Amino acid sequence: MSILVTGGAGFIGSNFVLDWLAQSDEPVINLDKLTYAGNRENLQSLNGDPRHVFVQGDIGDSALVADLLAKHQPRAIVNFAAESHVDRSIHGPEDFIQTNIVGTFRLLEAVRAYWGGLQSDARQSFRFLHVSTDEVYGSLGKDDPAFTEAHRYEPNSPYSASKAASDHLVRAYHHTYGLPVLTTNCSNNYGPYHFPEKLIPLMIVNALAGKPLPVYGDGQQIRDWLYVKDHCSAIRRVLDAGHIGEVYNIGGWNEKPNLEIVHTVCALLDELRPRADGKPYKEQITYVADRPGHDRRYAIDARKLESELGWKPAETFETGISKTVQWYLDNQAWVSNVQSGTYREWLEKNYTGRNA
């Protein structure tokens, strides 16, 4: 028995692989393209572990995927592979179309052929779990109820539109071909191994480096924050007991505006790693022009997952953000290694020239 994890060297994927192998001896076949956000260093603790088979490759490589499926005969696939940064999708949407839509299509085709050839028991127990995002639902007003699984899809960025398309493909392969699929739509993740282009790790890294802490617009965009290890436990639960063809929203019940997140990170750093001059890190906050089409609010209603499968997050935001900041303080070598020339070029491209 084994599972195939795609995108397993990225932020959420690597946390999932590490947590899986910390709790199970079932092997993981880990397929990752190793683009800028895929990092083998995330998986360094698994070096030499026979339960972890890493393969560098693309979910869009049909022959490679077919070979892996035939060789390893996984009982399940967990699909994390995706381009996932809204700002990057605004600057260069084509990569998101290729990976999130075309790549998902080719993966589904290879999986459909594999599943169709399984013996009856293996065919019946097989699962394809597709990991998606709350951003497919669009933006909420201040007093609107949180997103449920029945909420209408209204994606507003090239990223969310490409993920919405992939969700629809997964749904269609279930309804047309009977492929036993599960889909999860999560809220904003945070935690260890988060690539420092996203809000929380960017604030930590820039604060420690004495750089400006760029906040889009008025900083009042609201997100629901989910600690990554809680997300991983929810995915394991859905994979184990989710009903075929169903969608499950995964959230942390932590709606907070971006500016509050930044102030919280600054306060923790003031306590754990004070500035040499004794001044508060919040003095480094700089307001910059908002990004185009910036969604105002996301909120996840995760009651279906709790009522049907008995899952709820273990971490509060306070405990999760404390663990996250401490992890970055303790892993400065990892941070330094991911800040390549390509990363620096991206920061300059995205933030230079924005009006204060």
DSSP letters, 127-185, are EEEEEEEGGGG----TTSPPB-TTPPP---SHHHHHHHHHHHHHHHHHHHH---EEEEE
98: domain range? 3-193+226-254+295-315
The conformational region for residue 73 under phi > 0 = left, psi -120 to 50 = alpha, else beta, is: left
Model pTM score:
0.94
Return the closest-CA partner of residue 46 out of 4, 8, 76, 3.
8
Residues 213, 206 contacting (CB under 8 angstroms): yes
Tell me the per-residue pLDDT of 222-239, one tens digit each, with 9 for 90 and over: 999 999 999 999 999 999
Residue 354 confidence (pLDDT) above 70: no
Return the closest-CA partner of residue 101 out of 127, 140, 136.
136
| Cα R_g (the chain), whole angstroms | 20
What's at 283, amino acid-wise? E
- Cβ neighbors of 136 (< 8 A, separation 6 or more) are 153, 155, 160, 163, 164, 167, 185
Q: What is the pLDDT of residue 162?
A: 97
Residues 171, 183 contacting (CB under 8 angstroms): yes
Length of the chain: 356
Q: Which pair of structure tokens corresponds to residue 279?
A: 């001044």
Mean pLDDT in residue range 327-337: 94
At 126 the three-state DSSP class reads coil
Residue 347 confidence (pLDDT) above 70: no
Q: Which CATH number does the domain housing residue 234 bear? A: 3.40.50.720
Catalytic residues: 134-135, 159
Q: Count CB atoms within 10 A of the CB of residue 158.
A: 22
Residue 351 counted as domain residue: no
What end-to-end distance do the CA atoms of the chain give, in Å?
55
> Residue 14, Cα to own-chain centre: how many angstroms?
10
Residues 264, 321 contacting (CB under 8 angstroms): yes
- Split into its structural domains, the chain has a count of 1
Q: How far apart are CA 313 and CA 229, in angstroms?
A: 9
Residue 128 counted as domain residue: yes
Residue 208 counted as domain residue: no
Q: Which pair of structure tokens corresponds to residue 150?
A: 């029945």
Residue 340 counted as domain residue: no
Mean pLDDT in residue range 189-206: 94
Residue 175 confidence (pLDDT) above 60: yes
Q: What is the pLDDT of residue 176?
A: 98
Residue 341 counted as domain residue: no
Alpha helices in 151-297, H assignment, sequence order: 158-177, 199-208, 228-241, 258-272
Residue 56 counted as domain residue: yes
The conformational region for residue 217 under phi > 0 = left, psi -120 to 50 = alpha, else beta, is: left
Residue 185 counted as domain residue: yes
Q: How far apart are CA 97 and CA 257, in angstroms?
A: 29
Mean pLDDT in residue range 103-122: 98
Mean pLDDT in residue range 49-59: 98
Per the model's pLDDT, the better-predicted residue between 355 and 257 turns out to be 257
pLDDT class of 344 with cuts at 50, 70, 90: low
Residue 354 counted as domain residue: no
Mean pLDDT in residue range 244-258: 97
Q: What is the pLDDT of residue 80?
A: 98
